[in-house]
Amino acid sequence: MGLRISVDEGHALEVLDLLSRGRAVRIDPEEAVTRPRPELVEVAARRLGAVALRFLVDGGRRERTILRGGRRFRGRIWDRERCGAFRLRFTAATYGLWTELTPRFAGLARDARVDAGGGASRWARRQIRRVVKVADTDTGDWLLYALAAENLRRSAMPAEIADDLRRRLALGSPLALLVVLDDRLEDGGDDETIDSGLDRLLEPANVLLLECAEALLVDAWVARIAAIPRETEVPARILRTRAIAGVLGRHLDALDRAERLDLVAPFVELFTRLTSARGLWARAPAEIVHDLGNLREFSGLVQRDALRRAYAEIVDLGPRLFELRDRLAREAYGDPRYEEAQIVLEAVEPLRPQLPRLRALAGALANRLG
C-alpha cells in the first residue's frame, strides 16, 4: 500500500521537485509542512538520490581522458580509478533548504516582497538567509544548490528575489557559483572565499562532481551571456557582465592553479557555441558591439567603456585558452605537467578555426562604443 500524503506534504514534495528537477510548483496550501514526518523524509531522500545518480551517470557515462594522480586515465564514472575517493555527501544544509523553503515559498513568490527600489525586501533577504545554510556544506549539498540555482528560473518568484536566493546558494556551493556566474556575494562572500571554494571543488576527493557537471555549466554559461543585452538598466548590465567575466576568469585560474586544465572542455564548448553559425557571436563584430551598447539610457562614454571592458574580459578568455595551450606545449616528456598538456593540446584545438573571430571581436571591443 502506498504512502498517503496530505496536501501540505504534496506541496513539500513539489518544492523539492522544483529544486532538483525544475518542475513547477502547482499547489499552495494555506499551511505548509515545516517538520515532515519520517516517512515523507524517506520519500524525499529517494527522489533526491535518484536525481543525483541520474546527474552523475549522465555526466560521466561517456568514456573520456582525464587526469588521475597526475597521469592520464581513460574511462567512465563507474571505473574504480575514475571515482577514486569521491563520495556524494549531503548534510543538514540540504534538509534545511527543503524544509525551510517549503513554508516560505508562497511568501517569497509574492511581488509584494520586492522593494520599490527594485530589490528583495528586508523580509525576503532575512528569509533567504534562514533558508540557505552556507557553512560546512559538502558535495551533495553543492549539487542540489547548483540544480536549485538553475531550476529557480522556472519558478514564479520575482526575479529580484530569485537572484538573491541564487547568490546565497552560490555562497554555499562552488558548483552553484559556476552556474550562477555572479561573484557579488554578501555575508562574507569575498574574493578569498570564492577562490577557496573553487579550489575545494578541484580537490581529488571532490573533482568528479565538476567533471560530471560540464553540460549543466555550458548551458548555464551560454544562457547568462545571452541575457546580457536583455538587461534594460545600464548599471545592472555592467555589473552582470563584470560578474560573469569575474567568475569565469577565476574558474580558469583555479584550473591552472590546481594543474587541472584537462577540464577546459566547457570553455571550449562555450566559445564554440557562441561563434557557431547560429551562435550569439555569429554576426560581424561591429554589429555585436553596436547591439551591446545600444541603450539610450547610457549616460556617456564612461558607462559605454565600462560595459565594453567587462564584455571584452569574457571574449578574451577564448584567446587565453590558446595562451595556456601554448605554454603547456613547452612541457617535455617527464616534466610535471606533461600529461596534463597532452590532454589540453587535443581539447583546445577544435576551437582554433574560431580564434580569428574571437580576436576580431576583442579588437572591436577595444574601440569606443560610439
Q: What is the pLDDT of residues 269-322, one digit of tens each?
A: 999 999 999 999 999 999 988 877 766 666 667 888 888 899 999 999 999 999
Q: Tell how strand 71-75 and strand 64-68 pair up.
A: antiparallel
User: Per the structure block, which three cell numbers stand in for 240?
Assistant: 552582470
Residue 255: phi, psi to the nearest 5? -60, -45
Q: Return the pLDDT at 121.
A: 83
The CA-CA-CA angle for residues 96, 102, 104, to 5°, reads 100
Amino acid at site 324: L
d(CA 229, CA 202): 32
Question: What sign has the CA pseudo-torsion 342, 258, 173, 178?
Answer: negative
With bands split at pLDDT 50, 70 and 90, how would you rate the model's confidence at 1?
A: very low
Q: Return the pLDDT at 75.
A: 93
Q: Return the pLDDT at 186.
A: 65
Percent of the chain with pLDDT over 90: 68
Q: Return the pLDDT at 211.
A: 97
Q: Return the pLDDT at 117.
A: 62
d(CA 114, CA 124): 8
Contact 9, 40 (CB under 8 A): yes
Q: Return the pLDDT at 118.
A: 64
Give DSSP secondary structure letters for 231-242: --SHHHHHHHHH
Helices (H) then strands (E): counts for the chain:
19, 2
Range 54-73 average pLDDT: 94
Question: Is the pLDDT at 58 greater than 90, yes or no?
Answer: yes
Which pairs from 274-280 meet CB under 8 Å and 24+ separation?
274/222, 274/225, 275/354, 275/357, 275/358, 280/222, 280/225, 280/226
What is the Rg, in whole angstroms, of the alpha carbon atoms belonging to the chain? 22
For 216-269, how does the pLDDT look when each residue is reduced to its tens digit (9 = 90+)?
999 999 999 999 888 777 888 899 999 999 999 999 999 999 999 999 999 999
Q: Return the pLDDT at 353.
A: 96
Range 206-216 average pLDDT: 97
Range 61-75 average pLDDT: 94
d(CA 207, CA 199): 10
Contact 144, 90 (CB under 8 A): yes
Q: Return the pLDDT at 167.
A: 93
Q: What does the buried/exposed string (b/e) look like for 26-54 if buried means 16 or more CB atoms within 10 Å of the residue's CB?
A: eeebeebbeebeeebeebbeeebeebbee
Closest CA to 48 of 159, 131, 151: 151
Residue with cell 565594453: 308
Residue with cell 554559461: 221
Range 179-189 average pLDDT: 77
d(CA 190, CA 244): 15
User: Per the structure block, which three cell numbers stand in for 180?
Assistant: 550562477
Residue with cell 583555479: 254
Question: Is the pLDDT at 368 greater than 50, yes or no?
Answer: no
Closest CA to 242 of 320, 295, 307, 191: 307
With bands split at pLDDT 50, 70 and 90, how would you rate the model's confidence at 369?
A: very low
Question: Is the pLDDT at 366 greater than 70, yes or no?
Answer: yes
With bands split at pLDDT 50, 70 and 90, how would you rate the model's confidence at 370?
A: very low
Q: Return the pLDDT at 298.
A: 65
For 114-164, how does the pLDDT look when each residue is reduced to its tens digit (9 = 90+)?
776 667 788 888 999 999 999 999 999 999 999 999 999 888 888 889 999
Q: What does the buried/exposed string (b/e) look like for 290-322 if buried means 16 or more CB atoms within 10 Å of the residue's CB?
A: eebbebeebeeeebbebbbebbbbbbbbbeebb
Question: Is the pLDDT at 108 greater than 90, yes or no?
Answer: no
Question: Is the pLDDT at 352 greater than 60, yes or no?
Answer: yes
Residue with cell 527600489: 117
Q: How many residues in the chain?
A: 370
d(CA 139, CA 370): 47
Range 11-34 average pLDDT: 84
What mean pLDDT is reported for the chain? 90
